[in-house]
């Protein structure tokens, strides 16, 4: 294969670049604008903003938005938000929110146990190189905030849920960098000891127990200890007071997250749009180590085109079920306006560049990946060719303060509107009840593979992780 050397940045080359720039009036105009204000203010496509009507015909949300603050718990907030509107309606209350801090406590503890046991198993299986790619991936963020739908199901199944007042937010629950940093230090130090012990054939059980005890102390310091029971009482919208008595978190989960309301948490399926040709549509996949509880299945899904994801989302919303989804949230997104559109910012026009790439190419180069979980609570088919989507975020009202829904004033701030074009480019995953995976065309390809366990396993560093 011939080798083509890269042209060096010689004085002549630099002079040529400067001469080209000096003679470019478009660059001069762009420089004048950007040196005086933000790029996004200069490139915002106001026509795209005004074209997005925030009032959708289908709308399932009824409550004010939640706020994950400076934490990466979007997947947890979004998962709980899928159900809280119906619970509030059932209880006839003006507002309802689960305690995210309660599940956060056990998520951190279970993740600590999971990463320690995963590393211990690798070391005892003879993976001794500390620079092994899997080992490094596990150690890169051992106490991370992120997660998937299966993480939420794992936690609720084991620990139940409690209302917000039973374990309210703390400073550390909403601002997790210090918690994550200290917990990571504890886990990485334990990994060193586990590797040494495994290499000499020692029993690593005492080390695992000691590290988990340390992890528990760190988590409790930032979040407090979770309740083992609480008094369940509330006042409904008619002013009537309800005192239901003492509940354990498991009892409360069985009471409010009933199979009648949820359809059974184990019956939800992830359907993903991964257009990379090496991962064909109509098959089932999983990402290794993508779980938070040791010895539970990894995040698994069926791969399909975006048209299939949209069909499933609409079918679910039409039946009254909001849809958990994952996306690359900050691409072509105006935070204060609460709008997402593939053509929202005209940055190539400003810079005089052409950065157009396919979704598959963006995944391969890490230009785009799953970064955030939210909820689809409505949609509007303005014509046969386009759809707008109503989005429930968990960033409070500070980020979407200018977003309004005609006829639903202040309480509805914090929601957003997504263009169909943005869905195509940046939505990677929807989670729906399996009953929606069949229509008059038959069962969604890949579901049978998922049920039979015929799953292609992708490595921990894959773009779908």
Residues identified as active-site: 74, 372, 393
Residue listed under structure tokens 């059980």: 205
Which residues contact residue 230 at a Cβ distance below 8 angstroms, ignoring those fewer than 6 apart? 162, 163, 166, 246, 247, 249, 252
> Are the C-beta atoms of 156 and 103 separated by less than 8 Å?
yes
Report the distance separating Cα 389 and Cα 368, nearest Å: 21
CA–CA separation, 64 vs 314, rounded Å?
22
DSSP string, 172-209: HHHB-HHHHHHHHHHHHHHHHHHHHHHHTT---HHHHH
Q: What b/e string do you get for 333-368 counting C-beta neighbours within 10 Å, with b at 16 or more?
A: bbbebbbbbbebbeeeebeeeeeeeebbebbeeeeb
Q: Could you tell me which residues come within 8 angstroms of residue 110 by beta carbon, excluding any fewer than 6 positions away?
A: 154, 155, 292, 293, 294
CA pair distance 238, 134, nearest whole angstrom:
56
Decide the pairing of beta strands 284-287 and 456-458: parallel
**Among the listed residues 388, 384, 416, the one whose alpha carbon sits nearest the alpha carbon of residue 403:** 416
* Collapsed DSSP state (helix, strand, coil) of residue 103: helix
Strands 300-303, 284-287: pairing is antiparallel
Residue ranges of E strands in 25-150:
58-59
Q: Which residues of 157-193 are buried (b: 16+ CB within 10 A; e: fewer)?
A: eebbbbbbebbebeebbbebeebbebbbebbeebbeb
Beta strand 415-419 pairing with 339-340 = parallel
In contact, 279 and 303? CB cutoff 8 Å: yes
Beta pairing partners, 415: 392, 413
Based on the number of CB atoms within 10 Å of its own CB, is 305 exposed (0-12), middle (13-18) or buried (19 or more)?
Answer: middle
CB 397 within 8 A of CB 65: yes
Q: How far is CA 114 from CA 4, 47, 85, 153, 295, in A?
A: 47, 48, 32, 16, 8
């Amino acid at each position: 294969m011939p080798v083509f050397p890269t042209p060096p940045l010689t004085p002549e080359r630099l002079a040529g670049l400067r001469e080209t720039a000096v003679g470019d009036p478009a660059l001069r105009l762009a420089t004048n604008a950007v040196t005086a204000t933000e790029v996004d203010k200069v490139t915002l496509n106001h026509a795209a903003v005004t074209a997005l009507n925030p009032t959708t015909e289908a709308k399932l949300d009824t409550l004010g938005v939640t706020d994950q603050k400076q934490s990466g718990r979007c997947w947890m907030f979004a998962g709980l938000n899928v159900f809280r509107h119906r619970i509030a309606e059932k209880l006839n209350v003006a507002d309802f929110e689960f305690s995210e801090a309660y599940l956060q406590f056990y998520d951190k503890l279970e993740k600590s146990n999971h990463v320690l046991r995963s590393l211990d198993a690798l070391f005892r299986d003879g993976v001794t190189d500390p620079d092994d790619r899997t080992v490094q991936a596990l150690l890169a963020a051992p106490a991370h905030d992120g997660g998937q739908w299966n993480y939420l199901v794992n936690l609720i199944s084991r620990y139940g849920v409690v209302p917000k007042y039973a374990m309210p937010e703390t400073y550390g629950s909403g601002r997790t960098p210090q918690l994550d940093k200290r917990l990571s230090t504890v886990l990485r130090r334990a990994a060193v000891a586990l590797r040494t012990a495994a290499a000499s054939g020692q029993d690593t059980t005492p080390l695992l127990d000691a590290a988990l005890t340390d992890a528990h102390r760190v988590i409790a310091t930032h979040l407090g200890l979770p309740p083992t029971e609480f008094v369940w009482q509330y006042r409904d919208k008619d002013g009537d007071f309800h005192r239901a008595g003492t509940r354990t978190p498991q009892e409360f989960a069985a009471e409010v997250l009933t199979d009648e309301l949820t359809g059974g948490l184990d019956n939800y399926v992830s359907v993903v749009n991964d257009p990379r040709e090496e991962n064909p549509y109509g098959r089932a996949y999983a990402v290794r180590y993508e779980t938070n509880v040791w010895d539970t299945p990894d995040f698994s899904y069926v791969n399909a085109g975006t048209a299939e994801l949209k069909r499933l989302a609409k079918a679910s919303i039409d039946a009254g079920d909001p849809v958990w989804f994952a996306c690359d949230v900050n691409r072509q997104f105006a935070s204060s306006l609460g709008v997402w559109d593939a053509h929202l910012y005209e940055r190539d026009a400003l810079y005089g560049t052409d950065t157009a790439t396919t979704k598959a190419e963006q995944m391969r180069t890490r230009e785009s990946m799953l970064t955030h979980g939210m909820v689809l609570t409505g949609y509007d088919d303005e014509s046969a060719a386009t759809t707008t989507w109503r989005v429930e975020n968990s960033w409070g009202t500070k980020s979407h303060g200018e977003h309004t829904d005609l006829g639903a004033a202040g309480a509805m701030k914090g929601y957003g509107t997504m263009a169909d074009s943005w869905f195509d480019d940046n939505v990677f995953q929807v989670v729906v009840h399996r009953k929606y995976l069949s229509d008059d065309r038959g069962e969604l390809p890949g579901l049978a593979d998922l049920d039979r366990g015929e799953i292609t396993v992708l490595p921990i560093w894959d773009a779908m992780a």
